[in-house]
Amino acid sequence: LSKAKERITEYLAVYKLSGKMKGPILCFAGPPGVGKTSIGKSIAKALGRKFIRVSLGGIRDEAEIRGHRRTYVGALPGRIIQGIKDAGTKNPIFMLDEIDKVGSDFRGDPSSALLEALDPEQNSAFSDHYLEVPFDLSNVMFITTANVLDTIPPALRDRLEIINFAGYTHDEKFKIAKDFLLKKQLENHGLKPENAELTDEGLKFIIHHYTREAGVRNLERKIATVYRKVAKKVAEGDKTKLIIKANEVQKFLGPIRFTSTMIEKQDEIGMSTGLAWTEAGGDILFIEVALMPGKGVLTLTGQLGDVMKESAQAALSYIRSRAHLMGISDKTFQKTDIHVHVPEGAVPKDGPSAGGAITTAIVSALTKIPVHRTVGMTGEVTLRGRITEIGGLKEKVIAAHRAGLKTIIIPKENKKDLEDVPKEVMNDLTFKFVSHMDEVLEIALTKSLPKPKRADEESISEERTAIQAPMPS
């Protein structure tokens, strides 16, 4: 989390020099289990201040934030004032967890009540209904966390400075587990290093085949499962040290849960490899295209979202508009049905970044030219064939490397994002930066597209066919 940590240390450096900072409210946004709350605790520890954590998930009553008026029976101050009272200080680190899960009903909108508390211009005189006097919150350092940003109201989101927490790569998970999780779980299960040792290969086997997540919570559970079984043997009186290697992990955790998607064994016609971003990291997608006699109908399957369906329709329109340049007859589209399928049909897929891969697969099927199996691609395609910028490049590139791809085609605008990709991954891959679909086809297809005939050549060949045709009897 180097970028997130750098931004936080900058924030703290300014705070240290100025003494008081009416700065932005930090919002840690990212998938579950990546350490958003842990970093909040670390900030409090570094500053030597009290840490208060309040979960806002499921709160629907405005009084939970602003408090009740004292005329009501059972009136209480709001969560913010209660937290400051419990901490016994007016300058704690105050973490508002799950700010994206605040609801609203007939009792008011809690997210609107948060506007005053989180606005540096207003919170020097925060009004809690229970106190009935303004309270100064300007010395409190507020940190919020969220899994998704879409559900946060725009007015509240405008007051937050978003720091994105990306999911961990397999190498990062391995280092986190080796440095922290193994020691923690050994202690939690009453074990000592002389009772059991999970080897590096065994740990990597668990990460690759038993977890598929952005954070490390599930990985910690799997390590705990292994140590629980060890603890049982130790409690029964077995004093031999257990060394758990990769081939012995299945005895503890059962059959393999996940297999890494690997590249195809040979170059195929009508099949390309796309790159996808998921909350659990990156993955590769196989795009399959089948042609059948018909009336030019496009069928899309594989539980595709609306954006991905539109991307496939745009790909076909682009190919039809340039069919004569690719050596494809216009009549082909009138007599042929095209079926595009993205395997793992039970997994929902969406987004425009598979446009280049879909276009390549359709062109390959129509021209009968295979696609290189070691080439992966990502990029949105416009109707004019331009390849435009996409997101989640780091995760996609790591997934491509894991799957055994050698050449990655990415939009030129994404060249700047490669600085986030680990060096060991960069050294094993060849990157091709493209701005147009013609460049993609040149790299991805095993042969060049046939050159189009000139208009006068086409008319001559048609005349010859008419002369050679037998006369009607």
Q: Would you name the residues annotated as active-site residues?
A: 353, 396
Three-class DSSP category at 30: coil
The one-letter amino acid at 425:
V
Return the half-sphere exposure (C-beta side, CA atoms, 13 A cut-off) of residue 231.
Answer: 13
Q: What span, in angstroms and rounded, lies between the C-alpha atoms of 185 and 190?
A: 9
